[in-house]
Amino acid sequence: MEETADIALGEQRSSRLTQVLAGVAVVALAIALIRQLGGTASAGYVWDFGALWKYRSLLLSGLLYTLGFTVICIVSGLFVGLVTGLGRLSSNPLVVAPLRAYIELFRCTPVLVQLVWFYYALPVLTGIELSAVTAATLCLSLYGGAFYSEIIRGGIISVDVGQVEAAKAIGMRPYQVMHRVVLPQAFKKMVPPLMNQSIMQLKNTSLLSVLAVPDLLYQGQVIAHEIYRPLETYTFIAVAYFAVLLPVTIWAKRLEFGFHDMEV
């Protein structure tokens, strides 16, 4: 127990150091950007972030669209993952086989290829026209669901079998065993990887621009073509993603340590 506590304390210190270094990097980047706002020349190129100011509403709408789309895909992906993960626990091969095929198909193919296939090929096969937003939502939800399902299944099967048998021995029904014994313990183990996968879902939304979905990257491309300032535009987009993801990553790490301390 003491060794486990020492390891957890060491990881917390390492995490804090990482957060400090990340903060220093953000400050340094901010200072560099502020200096470039004055139009200082660097390697023959004059940076001008002020050109983006009149497009601030477009960038803000793209960021809000990205965040909203991420939330929708995470929620729907978790639902798909929960159903699929529980289904994978079945002993019936007719249930397990198609679910496993779905999971491996989405886990073993690039998400960019999936997006293009859903938008262009799926309507040809089904005869149903899909808008870019519908195709992207369906694709990313199923893509995330494939990973979520394995996380959920892994968390459930990690619970000691002896506890399940003891719960059944005292007369608990299967759903009571799952609700009162298995899930509370499995949830603690599932939270960190679920958070990491959700962060990946946010980063995957940057691929939506290939379908002309008006996310942050797509709006940035429009602006870059309008003002011929791609370096400033894509630098701003990178900083925006970083500013959103860093607090979420830190919160996920603290949440992981919180559950670890509860177990200790």
Arithmetic mean of pLDDT, 220-243: 92
More confident residue, 261 or 129: 129
pLDDT number for residue 182: 84
* Three-state SS at 124: helix
Specify the range with the lowest mean pLDDT, choosing from 25-34, 43-52, 90-99.
Answer: 25-34
Dump pLDDT digits (tens) for 40-53.
Answer: 455 577 888 888 99
Phi, psi of 39 (to 5 degrees): 90, 25
pTM for this entry: 0.79
CATH class of the domain comprising 2-263: mainly alpha
Calpha distance 205→59 (Å, rounded): 15
Alpha-carbon distance of 59 to 167, in angstroms, equals: 54
The whole-angstrom separation of Cα 257 and Cα 264 is 10
Gap between the Cα atoms of 132 and 134, Å rounded:
6
List the domain boundaries for the chain: 2-263
Contacts of 46 (CB under 8 A, 6+ apart): 39, 40
- 119-174 confidence digits (pLDDT tens): 999 999 989 899 999 999 999 999 999 999 999 999 988 888 888 788 888 888 87
Mean residue pLDDT of the chain comes to 83
Q: Which has the minimum average pLDDT: 68-72, 104-108, 183-187, 202-206?
A: 183-187
